[in-house]
Structures are given as structure tokens and as C-alpha cells.
Amino acid sequence: MPSARARMRRDPVVAESAPGRRTGRAPGAVLTLVALFLIAINLRGAITDVPPLLTSIRDDLGLSGAAAGVLTAIPVVSMGVFAPLAHRGAARYGYERTVAASVVVLLVGVLIRLGGASVVLLFLGTLVAGAGIAVLGAALPGVVKTHFAEHAGAVTGLYSAAVGVGAAGASALAVPLSDGFGSWQLSLGVVAVPAVLGLLAWLPVIRRAKPVRTDPSRTRSTGPSRAGTTDATAARPTPPTPAPAAAAPDTSPWRRPVAWILAVFLVMQTSAYYGVVGWVPAAYEEQGWSAERAGLLLSVFGLTGIVSGLVIPLLADRFTDPRPLFAVTVAGAVVGMGLLAFAPNLAPWPTIALLGLTLGGAFPLMLVMLVRFAPSPAAAGRLSAMTFLIGYPIAAVLQIVFGTIHDATGEYTAVFGVLFAMTLVELAVCLGLNPKHARHS
């Protein structure tokens, strides 16, 4: 066994804060969890507040269906294009400071959107807000790996529930706030409030974080860190004085088949999720529903997602093989999307609730895999960045395609039919997440 002196020896390379095995038991762990919850509330609110107001926005600005598709797609594109900045920022400044900076960027975007009477400002603000959300979303798996590696499922469930709270609250309040303010622009600006609260709660986490130190001559160090583990072994118990060559390989995610499986899964899951968020309110408004009632329908989608977002990641901690959980979850999404496509008026509220449970559960389950399939916090950040970079832009382009399909057909049946087919592909893809080759494939 290594001596206490050896275990506490400093390593000149520190890519993130102290690893989760020790930090998760620190006195500040509860405060970090609370701050993480408040931060995660902001991951969807600036996106889900737009669809309930989309009809008003289109009428005021004269947007076509394709242009409306671009508006709903911009945040999704941003989440892919800007996600790699999370790993770069974390490598230089630490995950804690990267999270804070991303929330500031989100706030700037929300404030720009207050000038939404201008098409340019509305689209620009949405782009900037999307960039902040992108970096934030890609950084949070690294935060979980750093602070709570032994409880990744439970903590991912917690912040996934926060995502659902933010998403559901923003969609449910968008129309009432717009009516109360007499301005959909001011309604879009309200999501600045949880962003400010989250940022204030996060400041103590930054102060407790270890400073990031780098040594250009040792970018692949395998010596023990201050917490007694290397960057490549942060998620495992400390081995007895390992030789440098014995460290687990930190393979680039671009060379790992499992990373590509996760990326394809994300394309399908995100397309379905934002297909519901972006088009369900407008689809039911076309059938005579009021904007407020259609917005409440979307809030049910978010609220039921909170339940599955909490429960499914907790179950993931008890499953060595995640494929049964993925299969059950995605199969439910297939059923829900089928009902939405082919029988939208049969039972709209239960259908949307089922989609909330299943699509809302599939995403946090994938986030758990981003932590589980990575050997270190830095690797989790790289895997997240690569997956988001591929998945989100493709899903965003598909949102524009959906808007074009609506313009061509004059209805949403074909749109939801395509999404139904994509959930079938998603079901097939998730069966490739074999834990036997996840770490080294």
C-alpha cells in the first residue's frame, strides 16, 4: 500500500477539481448539490419558453414555417457547435468557473432577446443563449464526475429533475406572462431570473474549487494527484502504487465506437424531444386549442419528464447493463410518438405525459452513460463534447426540415410520422450500448 506521504504527493497537472471519490463526502457537498440544481434549471427554460409563443411571434414578425423552424433549431445547433468549448474551458479554468461563465453568456443572450421586435435581435439572442446552454450542458457531466463520481446516477437524476422543472415552468408561464405583460418579448426575458439565482448559488462552489494548474511538459501525467488518484483513474478506487504505464488508456472519443453509438442515439432522442417541444403547441393550436391550453400541454411534457429524470438515473446505478432500461424507455417513446402521429386526438394528455416520461428519461440515462463510459472527469467532458457536437447540429437541421414539411403539407401529421420512424431507429441503436466494451472500445 502506498504511504500517506506518497498518497498526498502533489501532481503538477490538475485538469479539474479534486475527484468525486473524496469531494462527494466533503462538508460542502450538499451546498454543491443545491447549487447544481439551481444551475441546471436553466438548461431548457430559454428554449421551451418560445414554442407556446411561436404563433404570436410568427404573426408579429411574419415568419414562415421554415423560419420558425430555424428559430427553434438555433439553440439545438448551438448545443452542438459550442459544446466543445466546455472541455477547453474546464482544462484551463476548471469546470466550476466554466459553468459560471456559461450562465453569464446565457444571461446576455436572454437580455438581447428583449429586443425581439427585431428579427435580427431575436435570432441573435437565441444564438447567444444557446451557446451558454451548450457549454453548460457539456460541462455538467464533468462536474458530476469530479464531485460525485460514486453517485453519478443519483446526482444526474437530481439535475435532470431540475432541467424538467425549468422546462415545464418556462413553457407553462410563457403565455400567461405574455398576456400579463402585454409583450411576448418581456415574457421571454423572465428566464433571466433563475439564471441570476443559479449564478449566485454557484459562486461559493467556485471559491471552494481547487486552482487549476497545468504543466505543458506533462500533459499526459499519470502520477498520483493531491487526492491520491490520477486523472485517468478518478472514477475507480486508488490502486496500489500503479506504474505510469498501468493507467487506463484515455482514448480519444472519436476512436471509440460507443461514442458514435451515443452520438447517433442523441440525434434521434433530441429530434424527438425538440420535435415535441417545438411543434406540439402549434399543432394543437391549429386544431383549435387556445395558446394557453397548448402551453399547458407542453408543461405536462416537462413535468412528467421530471419524474423519469429522477427515477431512471437512480435505476441506472443498479444496472450493470443499461440496455434493458434504454429499451423500455425508448419503447415507450415509440408508442407515444405513434399515437401523436396517427391518433393525435385519441388521448392527447396521456400521450404527451407518456412522451414526457420516456423522452424525459432517455436523455438523463444517456448522461449517466457519458459519465460511466469515461475513465476520468476530463474524458467525460471530451465524450460529452464529441457526442453533442455530432448529435445536436443534425437534430437542429431536422427541426428546419420539419418546418419545411409543415409548409409543404399544411399539417403536422407527416412531421410526427417522421419522428415516429426516428424513435424506432433510436430503439435499435440503444441496444449497442454493451458495457463489456464501453470503456475500451
249 burial level (CB within 10 Å; 0-12, 13-18, 19+) = exposed
More confident site: 121 or 146: 121
Residue 182 pLDDT greater than 60, yes or no = yes
- The pLDDT of residue 226 is 36
CA end-to-end span of the chain: 31
- The pLDDT of residue 231 is 35
CA atoms of 12 and 3, how far apart (whole Å) = 19
Listed in sequence order, the DSSP H helices in 52-151 are 54-61, 65-81, 84-93, 95-113, 119-147
- The pLDDT of residue 249 is 52
Q: Across residues 137-147, what is the average pLDDT?
A: 82
Residue 432 pLDDT greater than 60, yes or no = yes
More confident site: 214 or 207: 207
Q: What angle do CA 289, 295, 296 make, to 5 degrees?
A: 95
Q: How confident is the model at residue 431 (pLDDT cuts 50, 70, 90)?
A: confident
- The pLDDT of residue 23 is 39
- The pLDDT of residue 100 is 93
Q: How confident is the model at residue 212 (pLDDT cuts 50, 70, 90)?
A: low
More confident site: 116 or 219: 116
Range from 7-21, 96-110, 352-366 that averages highest in pLDDT: 96-110
Q: Across residues 130-146, what is the average pLDDT?
A: 86
- The pLDDT of residue 8 is 41
- The pLDDT of residue 251 is 66
Q: How confident is the model at residue 77 (pLDDT cuts 50, 70, 90)?
A: confident
Per residue in 284-327, pLDDT (tens digit) is 988 888 888 887 888 888 888 888 878 887 787 777 888 888 89
Least confident of 371-380, 414-423, 430-439: 430-439
Q: Across residues 87-94, what is the average pLDDT?
A: 85
CA atoms of 415 and 181, how far apart (whole Å) = 33
Range from 12-21, 167-176, 236-245, 249-258 that averages highest in pLDDT: 167-176
Residue 26 pLDDT greater than 70, yes or no = no
- The pLDDT of residue 166 is 87
155 burial level (CB within 10 Å; 0-12, 13-18, 19+) = buried
- The pLDDT of residue 309 is 79
Q: Across residues 8-26, what is the average pLDDT?
A: 39
CA atoms of 143 and 419, how far apart (whole Å) = 32
For the beta carbon of residue 385, count every other beta carbon within 10 angstroms: 27
Range from 128-142, 253-267, 346-360 that averages highest in pLDDT: 346-360
Quote the DSSP letter at residue 226: T
- The pLDDT of residue 209 is 73
Residue 427 pLDDT greater than 60, yes or no = yes
Mean pLDDT of the chain: 78
**pLDDT above 90: percentage of residues in the chain:** 22
Q: How confident is the model at residue 107 (pLDDT cuts 50, 70, 90)?
A: very high
Q: How far is CA 85 from the centre of its chain?
A: 15
- The pLDDT of residue 223 is 38
Residue 164 pLDDT greater than 60, yes or no = yes
CA atoms of 350 and 50, how far apart (whole Å) = 23
